[in-house]
Amino acid sequence: MRGVGAFLVPALPRARVAWLRLLLGCFAVVDALLITDHVFSHVHVGAFWRPTLVGRLLHLPPPTTATAALALAAMVLGVVLTAPRRTRHLAGWFSSAGYLVWTGWSMGFGYVAHDHMAVVVAMVVLLTAGRADFDDPTPSRAAGWALRCVQIATVATYAGSAVSKWVRSGTPWDWANGAVTVWAVTRRGSGLGDQVGRFPAFLVAVQWVVLVCEFCAPVALWLKGRWLACAVGAALLFHLSTYLTLGIHFLPTVVCWAAFLPLERLGARTPRRRRAELVPA
């Protein structure tokens, strides 16, 4: 049980939580303005509002121009509050509240984007990590538990996608040997996509690689050092290729891979860090 506890609740630097909160807070604003910006256009079609389970549990009403603007303002304020140390503990609450309401509206009009699962989980669990500063290298199990939850949600997005392919196609190999990518390239292809679409056998091989990697994504939870860096790099390269060929970016999931990275090193040379290094272990 000790091994399970150490795995699920590792002691990780609080600074990593602080940097991840800032990254996700900034992403929330970008998401609202560029990816899920349809919330503002949906304020005029409230009759089509069908909230998801979370929306129903929270009794979330359909958006209006005023409430949508308020949620966006909360996300912007959350980013601003990360700058002063004395208000930093409030930043996550504003970012999370605004973003959770915003995504609830975004997913309540007929389409639920699975690429938002990890970032929504992150916005919730990072609140449980407590106060965190960018220059605080102190190991914390509260921080470790929150970061591990984000990591699990990130890899679960890929494993869940693989299971969905299996369920919808009957067997994994039926999907891998099919023409899904050929069809996607034909329907959404770019200049690069049109070029690779000329080689259907290559695209079938790519489908096999994608399926195997999606099933194996949870292995990243046990990787360290260079192997972990290779896994994160491979995921980023995969999403870059899908964007260049199909115009699909999965950016909400991509940013959550940052939970695997030693973000605390970004503040490693701050005064607090240097003082900590002078203290004997």
Can you give the pLDDT at residue 172? 85
Summarize pLDDT for 19-70 with one digit per residue, the tens.
999 999 999 999 999 999 999 999 999 889 999 998 999 899 999 999 999 9
> What predicted TM-score, i.e. pTM, was given to this entire model?
0.90
Residue matched to tokens 């994504």: 217
260 within 8 A of 152, measured Cβ to Cβ = no
The DSSP bridge pattern shows strands 12-13 and 139-140 to be: antiparallel
DSSP string, 211-266: HHHHHHGGGGGG--HHHHHHHHHHHHHHHHHHHHHHS---HHHHGGGGGGS-GGGG
- With H, G, I as helix, E, B as strand and everything else as coil, classify residue 3: helix
Cβ burial, residue 263 (10 Å; 0-12/13-18/19+):
buried
277 pLDDT tier (thresholds 50, 70, 90)? very low
H or E stretch covering 137: none
Residue 24 token pair: 């996700």
Per-residue pLDDT tens over the stretch 188-246: 767 777 788 788 889 899 999 999 999 999 999 999 999 999 999 999 999 999 999 88
**Domain regions of the chain by residue span:** 14-278
Helices (H), the chain: 2-8, 14-30, 38-41, 53-57, 65-80, 88-106, 117-125, 141-169, 172-176, 180-188, 191-196, 200-216, 225-246, 251-254, 271-278
Residue with tokens 């208000």: 87
